[in-house]
Chains A and B, each alone.
Chain A
């Protein structure tokens, strides 16, 4: 099988922050509705307290000035001082409480969004994982998840804290002298403008850096992962990959550096504007004081809180909105994943005895114009043992994917007991199928778990395990399993390492352990010695008598047991028949058979 991944179609849909929020809000709110409402109320209360603190300062300063001129009693000053202290303490306490609640909220909401991602990925069509672009999108979405959480919480706090704060503060300033309200606008405009531009730059960067990051991670794996480590070390390839790693890392840094540089320059300019604004406010205050429009206390209180006004404005815009603007791109990626088309289908109970019918099936992988399967039609009867043979690249594995419904045909149809695989949900489609593929997983778990994973809905059942092991020729009393079924199959977790052949047997045992009406062995015996292979296939034929079985193999010696043999060539069925029929006809099968048989032909003894 060969597929070229093009997948560079530009289907970027820019959506704005409002849309992002309305799309995220339901699942975020659903994650912790009660805590969110409490957090919102406390936030509003907090904003009130901040303004109260300024007002208390105003009253206290005025009282203190009056005291020096002997107009009011000392205890009244003390009273105002106490109010100021209470407002101050209230601010701090509420601040602590809200931080605590936010931390809890982040955990809860992250959990919920992770669940969304996992469920979504489970609903994607398996063929999506063949596509570089889609893999990229998934990678980006996972990166975007945490930012999606922060984004929604930030938007929530804008409405429950920042806006109320500026509203109350504005109202207070207005009550002092209407023109002072302008100061809020003077603070706001330059800071906001910076962020708008920043957001643009970083969204662009995220789109560019995704593939580079994946490449960078890959080179790192080439040096350190279990899969590559052994060979890279023996080849002395470490420095080669280190160079590649560093080169891509540099590229990544470069992309990030350029984007940061650009935004920082813009920010610098805007800061200068901000400083001018600051002196503007100061001048307005000074003038009002000189004209006796405001009291000394009001001047002092407002002067004092210009600092926090700037502080809060900067906090929301530069730090919160700013980092959000950088990450808005990644939040979009999260939503983009959730909107990917899913593999649809309805649940349907497939009858126990079902035939599989392929009707004029053609298939090509996404992004490839070449058809991997061309106009194939045949029926697999219930209980039949079918063998699929053919050269590498003749379409055997693709055909298996189509038969199992992992992939659905581009043209024509595959049906299970009369129901088109396109219409079936993946769950009902796979409920009756067990398959052992060339590339099986070696889970770093216990032996019993490694086998039992094919049927997680049932607790691990000793008798069934024994049965699966006998069928696959796996002897768990073998000395390599130091602890029987409980043996941990991983060096990393203080367990044992197995040979390739033993892993294959575990994979086959896994296939047998699962409930099935249809079982497929896609070349799982390559690393098993001939003695064992013959035994496994004979056993396989015996146990699959009343089940539909499909074997894909290169060892033509073992396909004799099949009821029918399908010979594939270049995506088509070249021949179909029993071993005896095929061997007597000059054709693809006899050609393959001879090639293998010649090595054993020599007259012996």
Chain B
């Protein structure tokens, strides 16, 4: 994988997409073979170095019952920079939502504090993305980030993604292939192995697993008429 490119991992459930990211971030180290980052084996990295390289938005990202500001600031706990937080918020499209809250960024979320606010699924998702944006890591990984979103919000996030992923390595894990189209390079994983690789057009021409999946999804949206 090259720097500053936008990658997408696609594949059916259980194909190994999430496992791959766990290997990258050093969560598992009982694998065979070699993973190199900048030519250096990741086993040689300190765990803290490795952690600093990646910002991950997990499928089941954590919804911390703390203030909105702290939720975002967790992305980079050692440096509190209001300006960067503000930028992350507007990039993630949360600015208006937060603006409407009487306590703004200091609003407590969840049910732990009295008066705590519960966000909707989409708002939480954006908050998790804002957290990843605030993280100064070089590689951002988004694991199925739009699963719980409505079509409009999903579409917005894809567009936002196109915007924010410029100039930074991004790995986008998805099985909604519409989103994969945005990627510079799509990696199709099947049965734990790399099955196909290329951009959208190349893969469609290849007529393999990717093309088949894309057709299946597209067929939902074709009018029977």
Contact = CB atoms under 8 A, between A and B. Distances in A.
Contacts of A501: 13-14
A5 interface: yes
Interface string A436-480: 001000000000000000000000000000000000000000101
Contacts of A527: 13, 59, 144, 147
Contact of A499 (B18, B77, B152, B205): B18
A605 to B, nearest CB: 6
A215 interface: yes
B177 interface: yes
A392 B121 contact: yes
Interface string B4-43: 0000000111100010000001010000000000000000
Given A215-B112, A222-B64, A529-B13, A557 B153 contact: no
B74 A534 contact: no
A1 B118 contact: yes
A527 B143 CA distance: 10
A8 B114 contact: yes
A231 B70 contact: no
B77 A235 contact: yes
Place the interface of chain B in its size category: 35 or more
A392 B150 contact: yes
Given A7-B114, A501-B13, A597-B221, A526 B147 contact: yes
B140 interface: no
A583 B114 CA distance: 44
A391 B156 CA distance: 12
Contacts of A235: 74-75, 77, 131, 135
A234 interface: yes
Given A391-B153, A597-B221, A531 B12 contact: yes
Given A4-B117, A228-B62, A438-B121, A534 B112 contact: no
A480 B13 contact: no
A18 interface: no
Contact of B217 (A215, A233, A237, A600): A600
Contact of A480 (B14, B117, B207): B14
Interface residues of A, number: 71
Contacts of B154: 554, 595-596
Which of A2, A214, A237, A598 is the most central at the interface, judged by chain B CB atoms within 10 Å of its CB? A237
A215 B113 contact: yes
A599 interface: yes
A591 B122 CA distance: 18
Given A237-B74, A529-B175, 13 more contacts: A4-B115, A5-B116, A228-B64, A237-B77, A244-B66, A391-B152, A500-B60, A500-B144, A501-B13, A560-B220, A595-B151, A599-B155, A600-B217
The 4 closest A-B pairs by CB, nearest first: A557-B220, A599-B178, A501-B13, A526-B147
Interface of B: 11-14, 18, 25, 27, 48, 51, 54, 56, 58-62, 64-66, 70, 74-75, 77-78, 111-123, 131, 135, 144, 147-155, 158, 175-179, 181, 204-205, 207, 211, 213-214, 216-221, 223-224
Interface of A: 1-8, 132-133, 135, 211, 214-215, 218, 222, 227-228, 230-237, 239-240, 244, 390-394, 438, 478, 480, 499-502, 523, 526-532, 534, 554-558, 560, 580, 583, 591-593, 595-602, 604-605
29 contacts: A2-B117, A5-B115, A211-B113, A222-B64, A227-B62, A231-B58, A231-B62, A234-B54, A235-B77, A240-B70, A240-B74, A240-B77, A392-B153, A478-B14, A499-B14, A500-B13, A500-B144, A529-B13, A529-B175, A530-B216, A532-B12, A554-B149, A556-B151, A591-B152, A592-B152, A595-B154, A599-B155, A600-B177, A602-B181
